């Protein structure tokens, strides 16, 4: 029954299969060994979801410097929390660029990063931005400020606070803006609850949230200002609003303990005017005085890309990360409670 009639089998087909096998053997050499021959250094960068383009631009410039010559990169970008946990679990990294300080602290606790990583002049920060409200082109819902987000018919997409750094910035901004405008803690909590009731999707990372918005899963996106600017630079068509009260986003960068020494050179370059210029071009806010700021394509006003919101608050206004994590994000904190109440959890 299983007798194959050799006549029916096209010999060509079998030959193709055999040839494919031989070809593959040739390919193994290329992939089985890690790329990079003698004379090049390979650095491993693990980053949060949105700074890929900025880092790639800085890496290009870095390669033109004497310290950066011959450096090749292997990179991984994803939700800040997930990436940080991956590094702890063995994902190779020389330089990390996360969204939240806490994601670097996790590495310090795991013994992968020196305790004094933020003792430098910028206290470990490599880029800054602000939380903005992204709306559809033409702003059909007429959103002007945070208070409009709790109206019926508004569908918000914001990332998942368990995995994403962007999510935490967003939540803190949504909460603290009530207080910055003179409200009480109770009022802020009430607002946050209404906010969560309007959340239509909780994707894993800031970039995933942008994509969900662009695909029509929601009509409002809360995101980094730099992400909104970058998306518009890449041809996506939407509007974004910088609220009067919003939070200053500060993203850390750190070198790992056992890293290749060139990683430290890269960090220094990132903080130099040349490196910071690339961050600005990709929509991040300048925070080091010597950073050149030109026209920023994609910003609401390319000539004046980074207006300072009248009520810009920082993480310090909220008591610092330790207090914030305990109050908002840890087990029993505000956010898990609200998520349970509104049914919108991880």
Residues that bind other proteins (CB under 8 A): 1-2, 4-5, 8-10, 13-14, 16-17, 20-21, 24-25, 27-28, 30-32, 34-35, 44, 52, 72-76, 78-79, 81-82, 85-86, 88-92, 160, 162-163, 200-204, 207-208, 211-212, 215-217, 230-231, 234-236, 343-346
Total residue count of the chain as it appears in this document: 346
CB nearer to other proteins: pick between 250 and 278: 278
Which residues neighbour 187 within 8 Å (Cβ) at sequence distance 6 or greater?
Answer: 178
Does the CA dihedral 301-212-221-270 come out positive or negative? negative
Q: What is the spatial distance between Cα 95 and Cα 114, in angstroms, rounded to a whole number?
A: 12
Q: Which residue bears the tokens 């220094």?
A: 268
CB nearer to other proteins: pick between 76 and 325: 76
- Least CB distance to other proteins at residue 193 (A): 17
CB nearer to other proteins: pick between 74 and 139: 74
- Least CB distance to other proteins at residue 190 (A): 22
CB nearer to other proteins: pick between 122 and 211: 211
Question: How far is CA 159 from its chain centroid?
Answer: 11
- Least CB distance to other proteins at residue 343 (A): 6
* Radius of gyration (C-alpha) of the chain in whole angstroms: 24
- Least CB distance to other proteins at residue 311 (A): 30
Helix (H, G, I), strand (E, B) or coil at 296: coil
CB nearer to other proteins: pick between 203 and 286: 203
298 within 8 A of 233, measured Cβ to Cβ? yes
311 within 8 A of 244, measured Cβ to Cβ? yes
- Least CB distance to other proteins at residue 215 (A): 6
């Amino acid at each position: 029954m299983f007798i194959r009639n050799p006549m029916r089998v096209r010999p060509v087909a079998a030959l193709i299969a055999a040839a494919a096998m031989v070809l593959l053997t040739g390919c193994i050499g290329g992939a089985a060994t890690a790329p990079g021959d003698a004379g090049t250094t390979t650095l491993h960068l693990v980053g949060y979801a949105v700074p890929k383009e900025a880092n790639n631009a800085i890496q290009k410039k870095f390669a033109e410097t004497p310290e950066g010559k011959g450096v090749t990169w292997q990179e991984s970008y994803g939700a800040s929390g997930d990436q940080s946990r991956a590094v702890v679990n063995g994902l190779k990294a020389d330089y990390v660029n996360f969204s939240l300080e806490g994601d670097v602290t996790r590495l310090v606790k795991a013994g992968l990063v020196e305790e004094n990583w933020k003792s430098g002049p910028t206290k470990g920060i490599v880029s800054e931005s602000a939380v903005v409200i992204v709306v559809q082109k033409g702003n059909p819902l007429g959103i002007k400020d945070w208070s409009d987000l709790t109206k019926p018919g508004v569908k918000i997409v914001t990332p998942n606070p368990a995995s994403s750094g962007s999510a935490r910035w967003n939540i803190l901004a949504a909460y603290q803006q009530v207080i910055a405008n003179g409200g009480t803690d109770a009022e802020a909590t009430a607002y946050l609850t209404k906010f969560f009731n309007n959340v239509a999707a909780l994707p894993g990372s800031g970039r995933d949230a942008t994509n969900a918005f662009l695909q029509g899963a929601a009509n409002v996106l809360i995101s980094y200002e730099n992400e909104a600017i970058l998306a518009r630079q890449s041809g996506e068509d939407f509007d974004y609003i910088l609220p009067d009260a919003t939070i200053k986003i500060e993203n850390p960068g750190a070198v790992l303990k056992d890293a290749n020494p060139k990683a430290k050179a890269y960090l220094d370059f990132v903080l130099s005017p040349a490196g910071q210029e690339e961050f600005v071009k990709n929509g991040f806010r300048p925070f080091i005085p010597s950073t050149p700021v030109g026209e920023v394509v994609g910003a609401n006003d390319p000539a004046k890309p980074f207006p300072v919101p009248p009520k810009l608050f920082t993480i310090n206004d909220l008591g610092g990360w330790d207090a914030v994590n305990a109050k908002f994000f840890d087990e029993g904190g505000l956010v898990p409670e609200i998520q349970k109440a509104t049914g919108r959890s991880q």
